[in-house]
Structures are given as C-alpha cells and as structure tokens.
Copies of this chain bind each other. A is one copy, B any other.
Amino acid sequence: MSEDIYGEGPLKIYWRNPLHSDRRIVVCENPDIDEAVNRLNEAFSEKRVVIVVGSCWVDYRGRASSKLEPGERIVIVKEDGAVLVHRSKGYEPINWQPSGCILQVFKEEDNLVIKAVKRTPHEVVTMFFDRIHFLSTFKLVDEGEFSLYASEEDMQRAILAEPSLIEDGFKPIDYERKVKPGFVDVYGIDRDGRIVVVEIKRRTAGKEAVLQLAKYVETLRRSLGREVRGILAAPEISRDARQLLLSLGLDFRRVDPKKCSELLRRKEERRIVDFFYHP
C-alpha cells in the first residue's frame, strides 16, 4: 500500500497521518493551531509547498511598512521560501516576500504566527492566524520547460537574423554593445556605410524610448567623431514620441514582435530541415 507513494499512480492523500514522512500531499481541514504549527514546521524543514486558507492579519516592515487588518486570505509558501498573501481579488498579492527568505512558525497567544525574514534589504512579513480553515502541504514535481515568444529578445534575434526588418542594406555589427552606461540593442552600418544604432521596444514606444535612443546616438557621435543614425524599432510609436523623434532627426521602423517570433520559428524549422534533408 505504501508503495504507491513512490509509484506513478494517482497521488495519495493522507489525512492527519504523520507516519508517512515523504507522502506528497497533506491536507488538513480546520486544523487547530498546534497541529498547524507541526504541519508547517515539517513542511518548511522538508521544503514542501504550503497553502493556508484562513483568517489572518499581516504586518510588513522593510523598505516600506504595511498593516493588513483581519480577514480571510490565501497564503502560499513555496519551496524556495517565496511567500504570497492573496486576497479574494486581483492579480497581485497584498503582502509577499520574494524567494530566499527564512521562515519561522510558532504559536503565540492562541494564534498561529508565520514569520518570513529576508536580508538585503532587511524585510519581515509576519502573518497571524486566529483560524485556519484549510492547510495543505505538498511537493510539486515540475520539470516542464517554459518558452516565451515575441519578447524583446525575439525581436533582437530576428533583426540580427533578418536585418532588412530595419531597412534594406542594413548590416548588424554587434548587439548589446556597451555605451557609456547602458547597452545599444543593435549596432551596425547602413547601405551608405553610416553607423546605425537601433533601439528596440516590444510595445508602443514612448518619449522615454526616443530619449534613450537619442542618448546612445549622441554618445556614439561624440566618441566616434562621425555621423550616427538612430532607428527606433517598435510595433507602434506614440504621437508625441514621433514628434520628438522627428525633431531629433531619428528614424522609426515598424517592427512587430509576433512577426519576429514567427520569422525565427521559420528560420529554425529551415535549419532543422537543412540538417536532416541536405543532399
């Protein structure tokens, strides 16, 4: 029976059963404070993921500080020590601690206290529970790969692979080139041999992007002592950014992140086809 725990079959749920130390899922409904303390201590020491649903209040002290008055929330503690306090609405946690914090759990005046401490910067999140509706701890097996497409990095790679996305005759020389402080996304020469700086934005470019580009162009113009063109590559440009761009003598080139991602995929497919079917 206990062999199933290690097998590939459906996960077993053990109910208030402390005997199987490597069981994968533990669920307690309405545990008392002492039981919760025990469960959490064992979960933290075994780096298990924890979900607590209950009535709590939360203090935070660190770069800023905050106070959350009592209410029912979901608290998640991950195996790397990341802590999330979620209310019933919204994308963002109301309180949190990024990964790498140290966890303590104890009972104090009939409340369950979970303390999450991080240093540099020194920050403390303290959660007080006076009632726990539900507590679950488990190990998640997750080796699945995550791939994101149509990011700014995809745009950069696509431009390097297919420079005509910027303009005909454009030849990239370098990318992520350090300039003063900051990095030029792509750096190259145009069909007339002029130096070109390309600033890439994956969404509508604002004035900030234009100023960033202008800064690089100006810095390079001075250090090289010759003409430098600046091209802003983005799917869209805001009205006043366009105005500023023109007044600074810079260019805009419409580049769509999704098309970049598709272009890369096609190139990759062709590479694979070439590899397998080349005569």
Report if A146-B67 is in contact (Cβ < 8 Å); known contacts: A29-B27, A133-B25.
Answer: yes
Residues of B within 8 A of A147 (CB): 66-68
Give complex CA distance A76, B51 in Å.
Answer: 11
Whether B87 pairs with A140 at a CB distance below 8 angstroms is: yes
Give complex CA distance A63, B49 in Å.
Answer: 31
Query: Which of B51, B71, B99, B261 contacts A90 (CB under 8 A)?
Result: B99
Residues of B within 8 A of A63 (CB): 150, 203
Q: Which residues in window 130-152 of A have CB below 8 A to B? A: 131, 133-134, 136, 138-151
Which of A37-45, A78-86, A183-191, A225-233 is the contact stretch?
A78-86
Whether B71 pairs with A142 at a CB distance below 8 angstroms is: yes
Whether A257 pairs with B141 at a CB distance below 8 angstroms is: no
A248 contacts chain B at the CB level, 8 A cutoff: no
Residues of B within 8 A of A99 (CB): 89-91
Q: Which residues in window 88-130 of A have CB below 8 A to B? A: 88-91, 94, 96-99
A175 contacts chain B at the CB level, 8 A cutoff: no
Give complex CA distance A140, B72 in Å.
Answer: 5
Chain B nearest CB from A6 CB (Å) reads 16
Give complex CA distance A140, B86 in Å.
Answer: 10
Whether B10 pairs with A73 at a CB distance below 8 angstroms is: no
Residues of B within 8 A of A80 (CB): 88-90
Residues of B within 8 A of A94 (CB): 146
A223 contacts chain B at the CB level, 8 A cutoff: no
Whether A30 pairs with B13 at a CB distance below 8 angstroms is: yes
A169 contacts chain B at the CB level, 8 A cutoff: no
Report if A138-B148 is in contact (Cβ < 8 Å); known contacts: A86-B78, A258-B65.
Answer: no
Residues of B within 8 A of A142 (CB): 71-73, 87-88
